[in-house]
Amino acid sequence: MRNGLKLVVAVIVVALYTLIPYFAGRPLNAPAFFQQTFAGVPLSACFVGLMLATFPIICWISSLMATADANSDLDRE
């Protein structure tokens, strides 16, 4: 897999995981999002929980990409 694709994935993940915590609410001026609850838990907390819970999946996909990359390197050699 080309380094460019890895870089794109890296930039998307960094943008998601550094910008979303800030943007979820402030610029949209959407306090309703933070006042709503899901089964008694604020949606904001559910949202972060979802990000934390799905991260191993992102990591697993990244691992597959890195492994495919290593294998193609070996093929070239």
Task: Give the C-alpha separation, 38 to 18, whole Å.
Answer: 24
Residue 67 binds another protein (CB under 8 A): yes
Residue 36 binds another protein (CB under 8 A): no
Task: Give the C-alpha separation, 11 to 39, whole Å.
Answer: 34
Task: Give the C-alpha separation, 64 to 52, whole Å.
Answer: 19
Task: Give the C-alpha separation, 7 to 4, whole Å.
Answer: 5
Ranges within 4-33 binding another protein (CB under 8 A): 6-7, 9-10, 13-14, 16-22, 24-26, 31
Residues forming contacts to another protein in the complex (CB under 8 A) are: 3, 6-7, 9-10, 13-14, 16-22, 24-26, 31, 34-35, 37, 39-42, 44-45, 48-49, 51-53, 55-56, 58-60, 62-63, 65-67, 69-70
